Amino acid sequence: MLFTCIRTESMKLKRSFIWICFFLVPLIPAIMGTYNYIQNIDILDSGWYSLWTQHTLFYSNFFYGPLIAVYCAYLWRVENFNHNRNSLMTAPVPYLTIYLAKLSVAGIVTVLTQLWVMTLFIVCGIGAGLPGLPPAEIFYWLLRGSLGALVIAAFLMLLSMMLKSFALPIAIGLLTSISGLLFSSYDLGLYWPFSLLMYGMNSNKSDNTLAGRESAFFLFCALYLIVFAASGVRWLSKKDVV
Amino acid sequence: MKAFYLELRKTKTKLLQIIAPVLLFLLLYCLYGYQDMSAHDLSQGYYRAIMQFFLLNAIMLPLTAAAIASRLWDIENKGSAYKLLYTMEKRTSLFHSKLALASLHLLLIFAAELSYILLIGKAMGFTQPVPWEALLLFAVMNFFVTFSILLMQMLISFLLTNQLYALFVGILGSFVGLFTFFMYSIPLIRLLTPWGYYSALCFINNYYEEETRIADFFPIPYDFTPMILLFSASAVLYLAGRHFILTKEV
């Protein structure tokens, strides 16, 4: 049942405009980051690691959040038209399955975005004249960042469902990203759900920020993911559709 | 005036719902971002705050303006209500009332920003005398930049019923706005995009000395050329918006 619902949700994204956002939004920090790297190549002398700092500086600190919000808000947008939510809630599908299917699709697109970011990173690195391929550690940071991104997706999915608005979750997505930056600047990011993405991606750092604290990172990611997903399912099952 | 009240009733508190998190965030930023200031920092407190608010606005307001514009046209777009509305009120008054309502919310944002700067100045004990002229100029310049972006976003939200386009442009704008603060070597981006004007008009600069880790904030002479360009662009956007609203077939 869950897989059928995931397939149904995926169909809603077919030929959708979110794919233009998907391709274009990560492209801008990639170009800007590479440009910045080339301009400051004398100071940024750690090769692939230095390029990583420039690529992730603004992308994960400011713009990945709103991009995830676009995915989540779009998945609920369809339900907000023509009383579609009534049809959705009267379908013989458990609330848990409906919610998890939407969350899974948002998660899949989120992880795909990370892969696209990695592709751009490699292409830009080669274009900037860096030797070989990026170190394996950077691939690991990207995967770890995906987990942090899933936490944000779970929160924004909940918000998009509750607010029934397309614009508001995206604006809030930007604010949560900036709040994540503030918490991480006070080294409290591990406890704040919106900083986990930056910590996971090792944003703007060439040394591993999470060295020795990785188990706490995974623990908090799992905790927030469960809390947000459970809240979403509960809200969907308790709140009446109007 | 009647059209304005109608807009107010249509949107209820929806626009406030958009700006409230922004204002709350800025308040929290002020509470946490200005702690443990040295005597040197306190002596340039207002200049530092003005520059940081220019940067924060460049990041947050393009998307906020996109969200406001999208919300304003949302009801008409969703319900295909133009035909009905145009039989009851003038097309231009619909446009003007929406624009007035959005501008009012922008004014609210900048009034709050000014009060925040003055409040943190008092609370943290800035030793720099309050630079009233600079504060006023900050509010006026930021209002006009955001207003121009809002005009453009209103046009996009009106012409393209799928609000994803408008919000995508908003995200893009936040990106460009932020980058223009760091890309001094490409000054053209600042003047060619509406979001670049936050940095083009920013009249406070800073110098960071790495050895002592001290940043000096100082005013630079105002350059009104970008302001003139912005006014001209806003006028073109206004006329284009008016034209599209008057001629759109419903």
Per-residue model confidence (pLDDT) at position B15: 77
CB atoms A170 and B28 under 8 Å: no
pLDDT in tens, B117-137: 999 999 888 899 999 999 999
Distance of CA A95 to the CA centre of its chain: 24
Helix (H) or strand (E) holding B25: helix B14-33
Enter the DSSP assignment of B28: H
The chain A residue lying nearest B26, using CA atoms, is A175
Tell me how far apart the alpha carbons of residues B78 and B178 are, in angstroms, rounded to a whole number: 32
Banded pLDDT at B106 (limits 50, 70, 90): very high
CB atoms A32 and B179 under 8 Å: yes
Compare CB distances from A58 to B74, B162, B178 and report the shortest one's residue. B178
Per-residue model confidence (pLDDT) at position A122: 95
Q: What is the mean pLDDT of the segment spanning B14-43? A: 83
Chain B hits for A70, Cβ within 8 Å: 164, 167-168, 171
Per-residue model confidence (pLDDT) at position A71: 92
Chain A hits for B175, Cβ within 8 Å: 25, 28-29, 58, 62-63
Of residues B102 and B84, more confidence is placed in: B102
Q: How far B20 CA lies from chain A's nearest CA (Å)?
A: 10
Q: Tokens 């910045």 sit at which residue?
A: A36
Chain B hits for A170, Cβ within 8 Å: 63, 67, 167, 170-171
Chain A hits for B171, Cβ within 8 Å: 21, 25, 63, 66-67, 70, 170, 174
pLDDT in tens, A130-159: 988 899 999 999 999 999 999 999 999 999
Compare CB distances from B63 to A81, A166, A174 and report the shortest one's residue. A174
